[in-house]
Amino acid sequence: MRARTARPLLLSLVAVSLAAGACSSSDEPVTASSVAVDDTTGGSSPAGTASDGTTTTTPAPAFELTSSAFVDGAPIPAEYTCSGDNISPPLAWSTPPEGTESLALLMDDPDAPTDEPFVHWVVVDIQPDETEMRSAQPVGMQGTNGGGTTGYLGPCPPEGDPHTYRFQLYALPTDAPTDGGPRPDVEMIQRLAPDALAIAELTGTFQRVAQD
């Protein structure tokens, strides 16, 4: 598990584009998108006083994203991929930073043979008091993935080398504007990401072999 905190000074490029590529359950060309964020870290708890009278600060607790199905950087079990049941994995996270009004989740594949990472899952409007998603039981509002469907699209890379999959959870200072609008997609993450208070990241890998 890796966590990255980000204040409103997340000013790096947040790119979203459409491209043809392969990473769907049928390896047909599909839409690819990405969200890139700054690695800048910051934030601390209120200042205290050391024994010598100097003012000190304590780093704010890390915002962490984990899964009971796999550890950060390890293979994702087949049941959560196109080689199995293709259901979303269980996820859990620590308490988001103070001021968080909603959470948003993006899962993508930066190793997809496309100009931008292929988007497997978009979820917005996750309430800040939520702390987990059980397997195949997402909370919040699911959006459109790179295959053009709503909800989770499990890893399904071309046969060959393993691909890495990133789960990024954004702690947002506002509610996602979903009322009365279209289902969220990665463009909504694009609009919200620069204001994220913190971003927690979990990665997993998956490799398809010939007998799949």
Domain count, the chain: 1
Q: Is the pLDDT of residue 199 over 60?
A: yes
The CATH number given to whatever domain includes residue 5 is 3.90.280.10
Instruction: Let me know if residue 47 belongs to a domain.
Output: no
Instruction: Let me know if residue 46 belongs to a domain.
Output: no
pTM of the complete model: 0.73
Q: For residue range 9-60, list pLDDT tens digits in order.
A: 333 333 333 333 334 443 433 333 334 444 333 333 344 555 666 555 555 5
Residue 25: domain span: 1-40+63-212
Region of poorest pLDDT, from 35-39, 119-123, 150-154: 35-39
Instruction: Summarize the confidence of residues 117-126 as an average pLDDT.
Output: 94
Instruction: Let me know if residue 22 belongs to a domain.
Output: yes
Contact between residue 7 and residue 100 where contact means Cβ atoms under 8 Å apart: no
Instruction: Let me know if residue 146 belongs to a domain.
Output: yes
Instruction: Let me know if residue 45 belongs to a domain.
Output: no
